[in-house]
Amino acid sequence: MKSTIVFFDIDGTLLNQNKEVLDSTRKAIKQLQDKGVYTAIATGRTPHLFDWLCEELNINTFVSMNGQYVVFEGEIIYNNPMNAQHIHELAQLVECNGDALAYVNEVDIRSSREGHLLFEEVFGYYKMEYPIADRDFYKHTDVHQVTIICEQDQLSGYVEKFPQFNFVPVHEGGADILPKGCSKASGIAYILERGGFKLENTFAFGDGDNDIEMLGAVGVGVAMGNASTHVQKHANYITASCDHDGIYEALVKFELVEKDE
């Protein structure tokens, strides 16, 4: 089954609501690997925030920062920093509005300001520390993804103002921002091409808005039970939640792993 590959989102998928890997998930992924199935991560996170997970699950293929930085079997196959001038124009408006940005690349995260309460709430949800503030980070360092922290009802104004960006809502306080046309799905396409995978042998698991395109870009898209109805309607199959063995259940359903007796 070496021609088969399975992609997993992290938060709300590989990790349960307590940001832990279930034993059933760990065992199922090990069984996939023992059978020669490729296992891969597809996430909005930057690599340095999930390197521990790759090590724990023995995964060395991933789509990170929503498709902006892609690695296949330990080799970087796609690396797409954002346009600094476009970021500058966004940063000026964000500062004027009293909102905040997180600047993200493959090794670091910096914030545009200190002590932003909504910023603390969003990063706290993901159990991440508030990043060091460096408002000019994008001027001297490559940035692959920007996360805007603002009230959801204000987000539409930014979307209208910056058509060169793709805005993907996150949690309850903003959105990940990417160059137009970039997504987990576009990152997956690089892996499928490099590995020579046939579409019918590809699977993906996810739960968030940034997983919607991914679920439609593979042979079988699986939505977690904890995903919103909006996300679930884009999936081929809806499994149990990330807290109730959802990954294991679906892998058994599609006969990729054996059911424990």
pLDDT digits (tens, 9 = 90+) for 82-135: 999 999 999 999 999 989 899 999 999 999 988 776 667 767 766 677 788 899
Query: Which CATH code of 3.40.50.1000, 2.20.25.90, 3.30.450.40, 3.10.129.10 fits the domain covering 5-79+182-253?
Result: 3.40.50.1000
Residues in CB range of 45: below 8 A, 6 or more apart: 10, 11, 64, 65
245 noted as active-site residue:
no
Q: Is 50 exceeded by the pLDDT of residue 55?
A: yes
Which among 171, 120, 185, 146 is positioned nearest to 17, based on CA atoms? 171
Crossing angle of helices 246-253 and 23-34, in 10° steps, is 40
pLDDT of residue 118: 66
- Under 8 Å between Cβ of 8 and 250: no
For the whole model, what pTM was predicted? 0.91
Q: What is the rounded radius of gyration, in angstroms, for the C-alpha atoms of the chain?
A: 18
Which among 28, 49, 13 is positioned nearest to 252, based on CA atoms? 28
Which among 229, 203, 187, 241 is positioned nearest to 3, based on CA atoms? 203
Q: Is 60 exceeded by the pLDDT of residue 226?
A: yes
Angle among Cα 3, 8, 14 to the nearest 5 degrees reads: 135
Q: Is 60 exceeded by the pLDDT of residue 1?
A: no
Instruction: Determine the average pLDDT of the residues in 205-228.
Output: 96
Q: What is the CATH number of domain 84-179?
A: 3.30.1240.10
Strand partners, 223: 206, 238
pLDDT digits (tens, 9 = 90+) for 10-51: 999 999 999 999 999 999 999 999 999 999 999 999 999 999
Which among 34, 61, 51 is positioned nearest to 202, based on CA atoms? 61
Instruction: Determine the average pLDDT of the residues in 136-150.
Output: 94
Q: How confident is the model at residue 141 (pLDDT cuts 50, 70, 90)?
A: very high
3-state secondary structure of 44: coil
- How do the domains of the chain map onto residue ranges? 5-79+182-253, 84-179
Q: Is 70 exceeded by the pLDDT of residue 149?
A: yes
27 sits in which H/E element:
helix 23-34
pLDDT of residue 151: 80
Expressed in angstroms, the distance from the first to the final Cα of the chain is: 23
Q: How confident is the model at residue 154 (pLDDT cuts 50, 70, 90)?
A: confident
Which among 222, 219, 230 is positioned nearest to 246, based on CA atoms? 222
pLDDT of residue 173: 66
**Backbone angles phi and psi of 130, in degrees to 5:** -65, 125
**Entry field: residues in the chain:** 261
Which of 9, 209, 211, 245 does the annotation list as catalytic?
9
Both tokens of 28, joined, read: 């199922």
Which among 13, 6, 75 is positioned nearest to 35, based on CA atoms? 6
Bridge-based pairing state of the strands 145-149 and 175-179: antiparallel
